[in-house]
Structure 1
Amino acid sequence: MSRIVPPVDGKAPNPVLSKAVIEGVSGFTAGAITTLTMHPLDVLKTRLQLNTQKPQLGTSFRILRQIVHTEGNFRALYRGLMPNFAGNSISWSLYFLWYDKIKTRVQTFRGDEKLSMSDYLLSSASAGTLTAIFTNPIWVVKTRMLSSGRNAPGAYRSMSHGLREIVRTEGVRGFWRGLIPSLFGISHGAVQFAAYEMFKNKRAADLGSPKLNNWDILISSGASKIVAGSVTYPYQVVKVRLQSYEAKTNYLGVIDVLGKIWKHEGVMGFYKGLGPNLVRVLPSTCVTFLVYENMKTSLPMAYDHLIGTSLDT
């Protein structure tokens, strides 16, 4: 978790927090804070993606009203919080950790500190693949809990109950339902991170300094999310349909989902929930990257202060 730096001027060496720990803790904290603040919009987005009717104006407000009135007041908007919290915090922790490690390997291999757009795409896609495979079981439980009220027939009571029920009724393979469209969705993360890095580098070049302020981070993260979200959103609808309770009876696979959405809902069916998704992901992305970047800066300083104080005493 830490390494020892050589002594300077005869002073005892101090342990230094490793980059892996910094990346992991920063990503975990960013995912946790984002989930706690944005969860109700995630519930709404999931319900919209599972709605197979033709898109209509005002559907979001009707669904929110129905959830509050029939599923347990405003507390129902936080159903499925635990798997969402676990999934986001663990995913961001692993993603940032693996992304930094792969990016560093690419830099070492190239022998060049300046990475290209394709280098960022490769690094983020590789990190996304590893993260998606590792965390998919959490997302299956989360999707099913967010898609129904607690008292609905067959609904999971908790994350642990959901995990047990999947093993009992679907076997271990059930944990990886929707993995294929999730892997398709890696393109979203790859585009987002590549755009984010390019926006950051451009802003740093304009300022003549690699240190960006919070406004620079907010603008860069928001712009990169808009670019990625506009291009890759349909895969999320397909993934949610395949991870729902009724997936086994309603759909034969990815191709079947695509065909049925196209036939019964039209092209706009692939963009159901895009509105609340943009409302949710823009602030959540900004919060995630803002917390992550600030944690990366403050965590080593806080650790050095803590270690320094303990050594002095």
Structure 2
Amino acid sequence: MQTDARVGVVEGGGSPHKLVTRPVQHHRSQIGAVSQLIAGGVAGAVSKTCTAPLARLTILFQVQGMHSDVATLKKASIWREATRIVNEEGFRAFWKGNLVTIAHRLPYSSISFYAFERYKNLLQLMPGVGIHEPNFATDVFVRLAGGGLAGITAASVTYPLDLVRTRLSAQTKVNYYRGIWHALCTISREEGIFGLYKGLGACLLGVGPNLAISFSVYDTARSFWQLQRPDDSTVMVSLACGSLSGIASSTVSFPLDLVRRRMQLEGVGGRARVYKTGVFGTFRHIIQAEGLRGLYRGILPEYYKVVPSIGIVFMTFEKLKQVLTDIQI
């Protein structure tokens, strides 16, 4: 296995050994690619379904400042909002928008996991990075850059579904959008095709550091853990390292995520626009109206969600990839 891996990296040369092993490595890389795509997509869908109630609470808290007064915001709490959802919308409303979440997460997770591995391989071929003399600094750089590029790629491709998910989840008493297709058509008709990409700038600003921190913290923590305690359960390692990476990435990127949500809901159903000056203008408006704490509105349910969510993603991904690789899918 070790020999094949080195053969796959070194270019040129006429050694018969290299010529014989190159197709084997290519076949293995193809198997790995398919496994990563399937495992990544399923892992994302499972995680999002398990944590959908907390995800909806996070979104509802994030957008409260758009049309609520200060007194209402001060009274808001997780228990109060959860009780309101059950009383007014029913228990199933906790999963409102979950179908589009899965529709978004399947391709998003597949693309991000697959792209992360591909970007890592490309970055390792850069002059000065070199895989033959790895060190901690270059490893961190590769993981940060690979995670950031993977996040930007996945977010750009799947963004319209993310916007629809936000709008469906933010609906409370009145259902302006009846479903995924109706939302896509209505937004395109009323706001134009570019309406499907509202808040993309904030998304790309946030998703790069988010996935960069998430992947690099996870990869680094897992490598260190396995080096110190190689006999520990893969499930336990994935769960612990995934949870740690989720807390770190959410803390850093949450303000941009909140700005993205607010911008995604601009002009819904003919409402007056609140934020008219882009990403930085939205930041300024929130700070002036709600203070710095306003940028972290909804961070508590996000923390409650992120530990099981990220943990389940990485745990499911690792186990599925192992199973799929074993059966050569």
Per the TM superposition, whether the score is higher than 0.5 is: yes
* Alpha-carbon shift at residue 120 of structure 1 (Å): 0.8
State whether structure 2 residue 250 is matched by structure 1 residue 232. no
| TM-score (normalizing by structure 2) | 0.82
Q: Is 1:144 matched with 2:167?
A: yes
Greater helix content: 2
Number of positions where the alignment pairs a residue of Structure 1 with one of Structure 2: 287
By how many angstroms is 1:255 displaced?
Answer: 2.3
Pick from 155, 176, 191 the counterpart of residue 213 of structure 2.
191
Aligned to 2:31: 18
Amino acid at match of 1:269: G
Which aligned pairs between 1:145-184 and structure 2 lie closer than 5 A?
145-149=168-172, 152=174, 155-184=176-205
What is aligned with 1:268? 293
**Selected match of 1:251 from 275, 279, 282:** 275
1:279 and 2:280 aligned = no
Q: Deviations over 1:8-62 (max 9, x none)?
A: xxxxxxx866221111001001011112111111111110000115453652222
**Residue 36 (1) aligns with residue 49 (2):** yes
Q: What is the match of residue 130 of structure 2?
A: 111
Between the aligned partners of 2:203 and 2:162, the Cα distance in structure 1 is 10
Task: State whether structure 2 residue 149 is matched by structure 1 residue 130.
Answer: no
Pick closer, same or farther for the CA change 1:225–1:249 going to 2, 3 Å: same
Question: Which one of 276, 293, 296 corresponds to residue 321 of structure 2?
Answer: 296
1:231 and 1:142 mapped to 2: Cα distance? 22
Deviations 1:155-183 (A, max 9, x none): 11000000000110111101111111111
What's 2:3 paired with?
none
Runs of 4+ in 1 over 3 A off after TM superposition: 53-58, 108-111, 245-248
1:123 partner SS: helix
Shift of 1:256: 2.5
Deviation at 1:246, TM superposition (A): 3.5
2:241 corresponds, among 214, 220, 232, to 220
The percent of aligned pairs where both chains have the same amino acid is 26
Contact 2:31–2:328, Cα closer than 8 Å, also in 1: no
Other-structure match for 1:51: 64
CA distance in 2, matches of 1:22, 1:283: 23
Per-residue deviation, 1:213: 1.8
- The CA RMSD over aligned residues, in Å, is 2.1
Q: Secondary structure at the match of 1:112?
A: coil
Q: State the partner residue of 2:83.
A: 65
Distance 1:212 1:118 in 2: 28
Structure 1: runs of 5+ lacking an equivalent:
1-14, 305-313
